[in-house]
Amino acid sequence: MTEKTIRHVAIIMDGNGRWAERHGLPKIEGHRRGANQVSVILEAARDAKIDFLTLYAFSTENWKRSKQEVAALMKLMEEFLDEKIPELMEKNIRLRAIGRLGDLPAGVRGKLLRAIEATADNTAGTLIFALSYGGRAEIVDGVNRYLEAAWKSGKKPEKLTEESFRNCLYAPDVPDPELMIRTSGELRISNFLLWQLSYSEFYVTDTLWPDFGKEEFAEALAAYRKRERRFGGRLK
């Protein structure tokens, strides 16, 4: 039997706060440990020849957290970009980002855009951060982008199709994830990639993100390869 190809894995990195609480540490230390884990899973994804790894790093809803926590998370993102861009260059990994990036603080946004530009020609895989991201926001932004394009052209908007609407999403060239992984055991998708996850396989683990390593990532891939994907149809 031919092994199923996995081009794109998406991950909801959940459990940083609980990890910190279990270890008697401030919540930001859980987020810091979680940020370090990105390198581990990125390497595992590259070894597995996965083309795209999308990580849910900061949602549109996360802005509702305390100002102190949001500020700490933004500072951590800046630190991550400073520390990890040389690693991405060395490993030939391209960085991209999806979401309402204009909502990010200027310092974070500037470093992010410079990192995206610096890694644009890398070819060994793509790491996509979902930042200030919400699935509903992406759909709304896509509709508005479509209407704005029609208005600028001076033509009446044509009837949307799935294909034409897809071209209005944040990253229309990226294939839908075959597999979505959620750590920490929560059984919801939390407004993540609502359009793209329509027929993705889900793998949920009780392991908290800071403890989610290469071995369990490999287990998630193996679990996916055992499944039959019907896409709404019946198997013969």
194 occurs within a structural domain: yes
144 occurs within a structural domain: no
116 occurs within a structural domain: yes
154 occurs within a structural domain: no
Chain segment 153-190, per-residue pLDDT in tens:
877 778 889 999 999 999 999 999 999 999 999 999 99
Residue span of the structural domain in which 221 resides: 8-135+175-225
59 occurs within a structural domain: yes
Residue 236 confidence (pLDDT) above 90: no
Q: Would you state the pLDDT for residue 1?
A: 40
Residue 102 confidence (pLDDT) above 60: yes
Task: Report residue 234's pLDDT band, with 50, 70 and 90 as the boundaries.
Answer: low
Residues 6 or more apart whose Cβ sits within 8 Å of residue 232? 199
| Weakest mean pLDDT among 24-28, 120-124, 190-194, 230-234 | 230-234
Q: What is the dihedral of CA 9, 113, 162, 13, to 10 degrees?
A: 30
For residue 205, give the CATH number of its domain: 3.40.1180.10
Catalytic residue status for 14: yes
Nearest Cα to Cα of residue 201 among 232, 187, 180: 180
Residue 123 confidence (pLDDT) above 90: yes
163 occurs within a structural domain: no
Q: What is the rounded CA–CA span in Å between residue 98 and residue 129? A: 6
Catalytic residue among 51, 62, 141, 176: 62
Catalytic residue status for 122: no
Total domains in the chain come to 1
206 occurs within a structural domain: yes
| Weakest mean pLDDT among 21-30, 199-208, 220-229 | 220-229
205 occurs within a structural domain: yes
